[in-house]
């Protein structure tokens, strides 16, 4: 890209473009240390697993927990750390938790880990891109991915790299060798498609300034849709929403008009049902963007813009690649609107909250 405006957000776009290489380096590092094999032997036996995060890390947890359930057959659920702190009795008893934090310093994650430790349920595992951070004190084991850390405020390559590490761990636990091979093949396959994806997304961002951005996904792609929504909000200060695809019919479709960009992350398993929503939304007058692995004629007829990934890996293993179009849409929309994605408005790289003046940590009473 030669556009001079791209000097704004230079760190962010470099980190997005580096994702496939970062994935490979992170996976190679885990393979070299044998860390995954050690973790598999040390993790507790089959039970329910709770994946805990905040913001992007919570959306990561949605996809990681879906993959865990799909591959291992063990129940997985994603929970915002704040729910553990404020409404712990609304959550089922779960002794196996995985804490997710890019920095390893996010206040609510650390407080949630301490709370669980006090309940004699110390988190089994944490994953972070930081080193020597407080999260290491509240988890029995830690996966560190320093190669995936970022200079920019918004999470991009850290999100996808931590997701792939969690998916690889699930594959190793389930002895799902084909899935694990797919995760290892994903960096190479995605790298071949990066330039084409970015070129398509940049054209969309520079051609229209939409009033509303909507992101739809089901199953493992619901977390992807949520993360795309957040990237557009963070980097372009645009109004954005996210829903399960079929839920969009139940009221939210009232917002549809030609100035609404509705992005569909379409799965294979739900293809027929999700495409029926795509057709309906197109008929209502929305502008549609479809991210899909392989498009059929119905998709092509209803998509104003189409990103076709054509990856050979298993469906759940494609999730990290599906994240990239949303990141690029947030970035290029922000640049087109005159924002600097490296310095998003009102945001900081690490969310650390001060305790209230009376010393209360914010936890609910037991």
pLDDT tens readout for residues 223-243? 999 999 999 999 999 999 999
Going by pLDDT thresholds of 50, 70 and 90, the confidence category of residue 355 is low
Classified by CATH at the fold level, domain 193-336 comes out as Rossmann fold (3.40.50)
Q: What is the mean pLDDT of residues 337-364?
A: 63
- pLDDT number for residue 4: 46
**130/126 Cα distance (integer angstroms):** 11
Partners of residue 289 on adjacent β-strands: 263, 305
pLDDT tens digit sequence for 151-173:
999 999 999 999 999 999 999 99
Instruction: List phi, psi (to 5°) of 287.
Output: -90, 130
- In terms of Cα–Cα distance, which of 32, 63, 26 is closest to 148? 26
Amino acid 46: pLDDT: 73
Residue 199's CB: how many other CB atoms inside 10 A? 11
Q: How confident is the model at residue 365 (pLDDT cuts 50, 70, 90)?
A: very low
Per-domain residue ranges for the chain?
A: 4-188, 193-336
Domains 4-188 and 193-336 share a fold: yes
- Tracing tokens 């569909």 back to the chain, one arrives at 264
Q: Which fold has domain 4-188?
A: Rossmann fold (3.40.50)
Residue with the bigger pLDDT between 365 and 332: it is 332
Average pLDDT over residues 285-314: 98
Secondary structure (3-state) at 192: coil
Q: Model confidence at 354, in pLDDT bands (50, 70, 90)?
A: low
Per residue in 48-95, pLDDT tens? 899 999 999 999 999 999 999 999 999 999 999 999 999 988 887 777
Chain mean pLDDT for the chain: 91
The string of pLDDT tens digits covering residues 316-330 is 999 999 999 999 999
Name the more confident of 359 and 45: 45
CA distance 258 to 251: 18
CA–CA–CA angle 190, 304, 258 (5° rounding): 130
């Amino acid at each position: 890209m030669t556009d001079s405006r791209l000097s704004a957000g230079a760190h962010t776009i470099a980190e997005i473009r580096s994702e496939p290489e970062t994935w490979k380096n992170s996976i190679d590092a885990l393979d070299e240390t044998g860390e995954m094999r050690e973790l598999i032997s040390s993790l507790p036996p089959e039970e329910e697993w709770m994946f805990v995060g905040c913001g992007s890390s919570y959306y990561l947890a949605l996809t990681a927990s879906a993959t865990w359930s799909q591959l291992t057959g063990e129940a997985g659920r994603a929970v915002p750390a704040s729910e553990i702190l404020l409404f712990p009795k609304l959550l089922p008893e779960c002794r196996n938790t995985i804490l997710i934090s890019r920095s390893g310093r996010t206040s609510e994650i650390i407080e949630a880990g301490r709370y669980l430790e006090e309940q004699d349920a110390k988190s089994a595992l944490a994953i972070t891109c930081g080193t020597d951070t407080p999260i290491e004190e509240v988890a029995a084991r830690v996966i560190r991915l320093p190669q995936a850390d970022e200079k920019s405020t918004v999470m991009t390559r850290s999100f996808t790299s931590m997701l792939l590490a969690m998916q690889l761990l699930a594959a190793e636990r389930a002895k799902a060798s084909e899935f694990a091979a797919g995760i290892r093949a994903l960096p190479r396959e995605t790298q071949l498609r990066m330039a084409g994806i970015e070129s398509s997304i940049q054209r969309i961002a520079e051609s229209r300034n939409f009033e509303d951005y909507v992101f739809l996904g089901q199953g493992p792609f619901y977390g992807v849709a949520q993360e795309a929504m957040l990237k557009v909000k963070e980097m372009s200060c645009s109004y954005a929403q996210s829903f399960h695809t079929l839920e969009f019919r139940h009221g939210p479709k009232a917002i549809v008009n030609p100035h609404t960009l509705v992005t569909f992350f379409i799965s294979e398993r739900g293809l027929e049902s999700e495409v029926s929503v795509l057709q309906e939304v197109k008929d209502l007058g929305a502008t549609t963007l479809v991210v899909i692995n392989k498009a059929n004629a119905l998709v092509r007829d209803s998509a104003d813009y189409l990103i076709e990934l054509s990856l050979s890996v298993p469906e759940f293993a494609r999730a990290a690649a599906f994240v990239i179009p949303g990141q690029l849409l947030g970035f290029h929309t922000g640049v087109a609107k005159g924002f600097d994605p490296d310095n998003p408005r009102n945001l900081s790289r690490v969310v650390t909250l001060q305790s209230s003046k009376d010393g209360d940590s914010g936890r609910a009473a037991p």
